[in-house]
Amino acid sequence: MSTATPTLTRRSRAAIYAAIFLAFIDNFALLPVIGPRAQGLGGTPLLVGIAIAAYSLANLAFDPIGGALADRLGRRRVVVAALIISPIAIAIYAFADSLPLFFLARLIHGASGGVLAAALFALLGDAAPIGERGRTLGRAGALIGIAAVFGPAGAALVSNIFGVNAVFLGVAALIAIGLAAVLPLLPETLVVTPATRSPSGTWRRILHEPRLRVALLAIFGLEAAVGTVTGFIKDGLIQRALDEGRSQEAALRYAAGASGGLFTIFGIIAIALMLSRVSRRVDQRGPFGISLVGLGALSAALALLAISPTITVDLVAMVLYGIGYGLIFPAAAGAIAIASAPEERGRANGAFNLSFDLGISAGPILGGLGATIAIGVTPFAGGLALVLLSLALLPFAARGAARGATRG
């Protein structure tokens, strides 16, 4: 059997966390400037939408591929290769002189991101001590949350002062410099030889493990909520301000400030929970109960946002949203590390990231579709429907789960 080596120095663990931050800061920081850059290259609204979506589409395709590569080749070499490709693709965004080249860079960047996420979470799962996997993955989730809060704000500031291309080149330089610092300390946690590779049927075993099914379903529901909230909350604030009689310009200013404050509250709560002892409960009790509570909080948050008449109700909804996120992410990611054997952990994380990307895409798509074809239906209804579906299916996914059981 392949062997994992979870006993690492503090510097090696810090290098893994640094690599996780580098892996996620790029996409968050680039979100505000991808559309304007595509427009500058002559993109129509449809082509701009395709440019934005290309990253996620490539992510979806390469999530399971990255997991399989991490199991077959080892974690480190896959992480390093993806971290080398990523800044090159980002730099091409700045130098592209045509939409086809920009799209190609976007696809390459998305593919490297899909491979990187699966390999990195497998590496961190290997490194996490038994009994501390929920908390270890919770810290990673907190880093992702920090990247999500500060990445777009920092990119917007740089873009306003130095221009869009400065954001691309700055992020590419950040990742390249970070890689140079992290590379000597990044460990290999899986030793694989041709004679010890996992036998066929790994994907089937992953889908038959109850705790993994719970984790995949919970992360899908969580990200359906994430995609819905991030996609529609600002539009709802703008419409409410217009209904109150504000001008278009005043409504835009109000929505920008209000949404920034609401997401800050969400981020503080989610990060605090992921860094707290609550994230250890998955190691003791499994992911089911935590995921159930978390999906319930997300359902309440989306229901409130769907009917909210005031900023006060929005605030309550975002508090619940932060609670749901802070509970579910470490429970789901920790369960992947707990319930998968070392030689299949890469593929288990590939499935995890696939569910993640499917959820974050399906939430806003269903919400937008519902609001388009049915008069009076709020976009939040689509995400709410997916979260409620995940909540209803969770007991069936958990059938056969052994509470607190662990794998190596």
Domain-located, residue 408: no
- Report if residue 134 sits inside a domain: yes
298: domain CATH number is 1.20.1250.20
pLDDT, position 157: 84
Asked if residue 98 belongs to a domain, the reply is yes
Last residue of a domain, one of 136, 167, 191: 191
On whether residue 303 sits in a domain, the answer given is: yes
Distant-in-sequence, close-in-space partners of 307: CB < 8 Å, separation ≥ 6: 313, 378
Domain extent for 13: 3-191
One domain, residues 274 and 358: yes
The C-alpha atoms of residue 408 and residue 129 are separated, in whole angstroms, by 10
**266-323 pLDDT tens trace:** 999 999 999 998 988 999 899 999 999 999 999 999 999 999 889 999 999 999 999 9
Instruction: Provide the pairing of β-strand 3-4 with 190-191.
Output: antiparallel
| C-alpha to C-alpha distance for 224 and 335, rounded to whole angstroms | 19
Angle, nearest 10°, between helix axes 210-243 and 288-307? 20
Residue recorded with tokens 């939430």: 363
Give the tokens for residue 238.
Answer: 């703008």
Inside any domain, residue 197: no
Smallest CA-to-CA distance from 325 within 207, 400, 225 is with 225
**Integer Cα distance of 5 and 123 in angstroms:** 10
Phi, psi dihedral angles at 132 (to 5 degrees): -125, 15
Quote the pLDDT of residue 367: 86
Is residue 227 within 8 Å of 302, Cβ to Cβ?
A: no
For the chain, the domain total comes to: 2
| CA-based R_g, the chain, Å | 21
Q: Do residues 354 and 209 share a domain?
A: yes
Q: Are 147 and 244 in the same domain?
A: no
Sorted by sequence, the CB contacts under 8 Å of residue 14 that are 6+ apart come out as: 185
pTM score of the predicted model = 0.87
- Is residue 33 a part of any domain in this protein? yes
**Cα–chain-centroid distance for residue 78?**
19
CA distances to 51, 63, 341 from 4, rounded to whole Å, are 39, 21, 9
In a domain, 200, yes or no: no
Q: Are residues 217 and 320 in the same domain?
A: yes
Q: What gap in Å lies between CA 3 and CA 189, rounded to an integer?
A: 8
- Residue in 345, 349, 23 with CA at minimum distance from that of residue 186: 23
In a domain, 245, yes or no: yes
| CA gap 38, 101 in Å, rounded | 11
**How far is residue 172's CA from residue 166's CA, in Å, rounded to a whole number?**
10
Question: In this structure, are 168 and 306 located in the same domain?
Answer: no
Q: What is the 3-state secondary structure (H, E, C) of 166-177?
A: HHHHHHHHHHHH
Residue with tokens 């680039």: 30
Across the strands, what pairs with 191?
3
User: Does residue 234 share a domain with residue 318?
Assistant: yes
pLDDT of residue 404: 44
Q: Which residues of the chain have pLDDT under 50?
A: 1-5, 403-406
Average pLDDT, the chain: 87
Exposed / middle / buried, residue 403 (Cβ in 10 Å: 0-12, 13-18, 19+): exposed
Domain boundary, last residue among 156, 191, 226: 191
Task: Tell me if residue 4 falls in helix, strand or coil.
Answer: strand
Asked whether the beta carbons of 328 and 281 are under 8 A apart, the reply is no
3-state class of 190 per DSSP?
strand
What pLDDT score was predicted for residue 34? 83
* Residue 363 to residue 231: CA distance in whole angstroms: 9
